[in-house]
Every structure is written in C-alpha cells, then in structure tokens.
Amino acid sequence: MEFTAKAIAEFLQGEVVGNPEVKVNNVAKIEEATPGTLAFLSNPKYNKYLYTTEASIVLINLDMELEKEVSTTLIKVENAYESFAKLLELAEQARPVKQGISELAFIEKSAKIGDGVYIAPFVYIGENVVIEDNVKLFPHVFIDDNVTVKKNTTLNSGVKVYHECKIGENCIIHAGAVIGSDGFGFAPDENNVYRKIPQLGNVIIEDNVEVGSNTTIDRATMGSTIIKKGVKLDNLNQIGHNVQIGENTVIAAQSGVAGTTKVGKNCQFGGQSGLAPHIQIADGVKVTPQAGIPNSIKQPGSIVMGTPAFNIREFQKSFIVYKQLPDLFKRVKELENEIKRLKGE
C-alpha cells in the first residue's frame, strides 16, 4: 500500500514541510533509506543523516532546528519515535487476518472455542480449555487442560502453556515461551538427597502483556505466579515460582527473577540483570544491565547499578576509585619502602 505525506501527516496530526504528494510504500532506517521509504529521526546522534538520506519522507520532532536545507519531505510531529510506532501499528493492522481451524489441529471435545479464532496445524488444545474470541494459535502451540486464553491474544509457534494457567486479553506470547512449568522446588532429606516439592499453583498473565521468545514463567508452588497488566518481558527471561511482576514493568533479555520476589509497577530492568529470591522491589525502580540485586529496594524511583547493586551515583564514584587502585597500590608500596628506609637511618 502507498501513502502520501499529506495522508500520513493528517493521521499523525503533523505538519508537512516539502512535497505533500510524495508517496511511500515501506519504512527504513534513516541511514539506510531508499526512495519510496519513510524514516524517522528522534536521536540527535543521527541528525547528520537527515541531510544525506534518500528517504522520501522523514518524521522529525516539531522542535528540531535544521542546520541546512534538506532534499526530503519532512513531517513535523510532537514525538517522532512515538509517531513512527503508530505507523508501524497501522501497517501491522493492515496485514491479512488469519482465521479458521485447521483439520490438522487436535482439540479435545470439552474445550470451548470462541468466534473468529485461528488455530493452525499441529496445535493441541486439552480438556476444558477456554479459547475466547479472535485468539490466534500458531503451529505447534500446546495448551494443557483447564487453561483459559482470553480474547485477541496471540500465541506464536511452539508456545507451551501448562495446566490451569490463565492468559488475559490482548497478550502476545512469542515463539518457544513456556508458561507454567514447575518452579525450582526441592528439599534435601536426611541423606542429603533432593526430593521434588510438588508445584500445585499456576501462572496468571493479565491483559496487554508481551512475553518474549524462549522466556519461561514458572508456576507457583501454591497460589499463583502473577504477571500484571502491561508487563513486557524480553526474550530468554526466567521468572521463578510465586513471583509477582507489577503493572507496566519491563525486563530486558537474559534476566532472571528468583522465586517469591515481588516487583513493583513501572520498573525497568536492563539485560542480564538478576534478582535474588524473597525480596521486594519498590515502584519505579530502574536497574542497569548486568546488575545483581541481593536485597529489597524500598525507595521508589531508585536507580541502581553493579553487583551487588546500589545507588548509581555512589557506584559511579566508587568505580572512579576502583580504576585508580593499581596506581594507589603502587604509591602505597613506595611509601612503605620510604618508611623502611627512614627507620633504617
């Protein structure tokens, strides 16, 4: 599909600078764009590409001041990044909608299937499962007994949902994710042999949650592991048993949250961060990549860094000293030698 700059500007409530009739049919990075594509610019590091890009249209922030003339058509908007995301959503919605139930899917007779669903070949749906309207299940999805998947949710290829789990509305679960596998529960006996503790709970995923590829969310020992509405989990995350993740918290790839930890709402965790078990994280906490959190963080809005993690300002000051340790050690040795010499005299 093609769109003119004028039509895009009207949709985004932006201002056209240049040819309002120029057309685009694809999107691209500003530094790699070709004629017929649309790009965006929100990071000042990429400003130089605005004057050399071959993109037919570029979205820019309304307050951006041009250093020289540009050859491309501009659309000025309040937030170029957000506006670009809206256009991508529009393009996604324009894709053909898959519907229908494949004859190669296996659905137990007691399962309830809503209207407008898509169930691909080689999907398995167990006893007493409820699949609500407009759910999409792609090939090799496995849904165990007594699971509920609410309307407009998508489970991509290879997703596994264990028994009794509940997934809310408008969720996206990416390929290979496992929802409801057993929590890591073992108890040593008198011979120091580890005995498995049965995991009798489930996982509850609320509305508007996105779970990345190959992420695992363990079922609770008792009760529920709960992922609150609006949470975004990146690929390759591990969420332990009885964990609670608060609303609109985001966790980047390769991070781990150990069992029974409670994370507040609107938190942000960088990639490869790790949380110890049985701790609590206050609302709005920000954690830098590769940080290790051994203890509760009680102050809302804290920013922490390092392993073990502590306040980012204090960490940065400490790191300055850390980098100087070889020189400080050398100076201490010189002082020791000088003291010995003076004592000898």
Cα-only R_g, the chain: 27
What's the rounded mean pLDDT across residues 286-291? 95
Q: Each residue of 230-254: pLDDT tens digit?
A: 999 999 999 999 999 999 999 999 9
CB 234, CB 212: distance < 8 Å: yes
What's the rounded mean pLDDT across residues 213-226? 97
Catalytic residue flag (residue 163) = no
Cis peptide before 294 (omega within 30 of 0): no
What's the rounded mean pLDDT across residues 57-63? 95
User: Does the pLDDT of residue 168 top 90, yes or no?
Assistant: yes
The pLDDT of residue 89 is 84
What's the rounded mean pLDDT across residues 53-58? 96
Question: Which residue in this structure is represented by tokens 């390769």?
Answer: 254
CB 260, CB 275: distance < 8 Å: no
Distances (CA, A) of 143 to 99, 167, 229, 253, 320: 18, 11, 21, 25, 52
Name the residue among 307, 312, 243 with its Cα closest to residue 278.
243
Of 163, 174, 241, 278, the active-site residue reads 241
Q: What percent of the chain has pLDDT over 70?
A: 100
Question: CATH number of the domain at 100-314, out of 1.20.1730.10, 2.160.10.10, 2.70.98.10, 1.20.140.10?
Answer: 2.160.10.10
Q: Each residue of 117-165: pLDDT tens digit?
A: 999 999 999 999 999 999 999 999 999 999 999 999 999 999 999 999 9
**Domain residue ranges of the chain, discontinuous segments joined by +:** 3-93, 100-314, 315-344
CB 200, CB 163: distance < 8 Å: no
Side chain identity, residue 204: I
User: Using CA atoms in the order 19, 24, 29, 33, what is the torsion angle rounded to 10 degrees?
Assistant: -80
The pLDDT of residue 176 is 97
How far apart CA 8 and CA 19 sit, in angstroms, is 12
User: Where residue 116 falls among pLDDT bands split at 50, 70, 90?
Assistant: very high
The pLDDT of residue 139 is 97
Q: Each residue of 296-341: pLDDT tens digit?
A: 999 999 999 888 887 877 878 887 877 888 888 888 888 988 888 8
Which has more pLDDT, 68 or 229? 229
Question: Which residue in this structure is represented by tokens 């995350």?
Answer: 237
The pLDDT of residue 239 is 98
The pLDDT of residue 237 is 98
Mean pLDDT, the chain, whole residue set: 94
Question: CATH number of the domain at 3-93, out of 3.40.1390.10, 3.90.226.10, 1.20.1440.230, 3.40.190.10?
Answer: 3.40.1390.10
The pLDDT of residue 2 is 86
User: Where residue 91 falls among pLDDT bands split at 50, 70, 90?
Assistant: confident
Q: How many C-beta atoms surround the C-beta of residue 87 within 10 A?
A: 18
